[in-house]
Amino acid sequence: MITLYLATSNPGKQREFQEAAHGMGITVACVPNFQQLPPCVEDGATFEENARKKAQHYSQFCGGWVFADDSGISVDALGGAPGVHSARFAGPGATDEANNAKLLDLLRLYTATGGRERRARYTCVIALAERGKVLAVTEGSATGVILPAPRGSGGFGYDPLFFYPPLGKTFAELGPGEKWVVSHRGIAFRRLVEWMRQAPVQHA
């Protein structure tokens, strides 16, 4: 059994990664004493920069393989915003509800001025590191549309607003297994697992 240590305090991410790893021969555990460690400053301009920074930083405090993801949503009508600022779109410590409300407010303003483009893309970049050195980087994405009002009670983040046309549902309306197959985070994680299976050295 391979153990991966996840560098995040986000309970939604913890739950999704742990559920996904079940049955893959992988155990996902949180980096020990994560809340007591010096925080990583996420000031990168891209998802990859932030994922690399977090994985490198937290792998210095934990033996074995440490992975971190940086993810968010980019809306065409807003020039790609909120992008890397997705988690704090409505300000530091913002709740999912506050972030969603700000996104809808901005899109209503955009629509009132004649805009109609509500396409959006979820992106997830995962970096895997050991003792401060990045070993692998994987990426996944999912394309959808931002609805004018939330639907569904599952998921987290912008999931209630993110409508996925191939399934006719928002990510918040999908079951965990159904979402994992098509989500940005699921795609990035499966690519990471594939890299690990081909890697010359594995950690138990």
In a domain, 203, yes or no: no
Structural domain containing residue 150: 2-198
Catalytic annotation present for 70 = yes
pLDDT tens readout for residues 81-99: 999 999 999 999 999 999 9
More confidently predicted of 188 and 198? 188
pLDDT number for residue 65: 95
Residue 18 has pLDDT above 80, yes or no: yes
In a domain, 152, yes or no: yes
CA dihedral 22, 23, 25, 29 (to 10 degrees): 0
Q: Which helix H or strand E contains 199, and what residues bound it?
A: none
Q: Give me the percent of the chain exceeding a pLDDT of 90.
A: 81
Residue 53 has pLDDT above 80, yes or no: yes
Catalytic residue, from 70, 96, 105, 159: name it. 70
Side chain identity, residue 156: F
Residue 179 to residue 9: CA distance in whole angstroms: 21
pLDDT tens readout for residues 98-145: 999 999 999 998 876 666 789 999 999 999 999 999 999 999 999 999
pLDDT tens readout for residues 163-187: 999 999 999 999 999 999 999 999 9
Edge-to-edge order in the sheet of strand 119-130: 26-30, 2-6, 65-75, 119-130, 133-146, 162-164, 169-170
CA dihedral 31, 36, 38, 44 (to 10 degrees): 50
Which CATH number covers residue 44? 3.90.950.10
pLDDT number for residue 2: 85
In a domain, 22, yes or no: yes
Tokens at 149, concatenated: 């009002």
Q: Widest CA span of the chain, in angstroms? A: 56
140 CB burial (10 A radius; 0-12, 13-18, 19+): buried
pLDDT number for residue 190: 94
Q: Give me the percent of the chain exceeding a pLDDT of 70.
A: 96
Question: How many domains are there within the chain?
Answer: 1
Region 47-64: mean pLDDT is 96
The length of the chain, given as a count of residues: 204
Residue 107 to residue 116: CA distance in whole angstroms: 9
pLDDT number for residue 24: 85
In a domain, 104, yes or no: yes
End-to-end CA distance of the chain: 6
> What does pTM read for this prediction?
0.92
More confidently predicted of 204 and 86? 86
Buried b / exposed e over 23-55, threshold 16 CB at 10 Å, is eeebebebbeebeeeeeeebeeeebbbbbbbbb
Q: For tokens 């997830």, what's the residue?
A: 124
In a domain, 204, yes or no: no
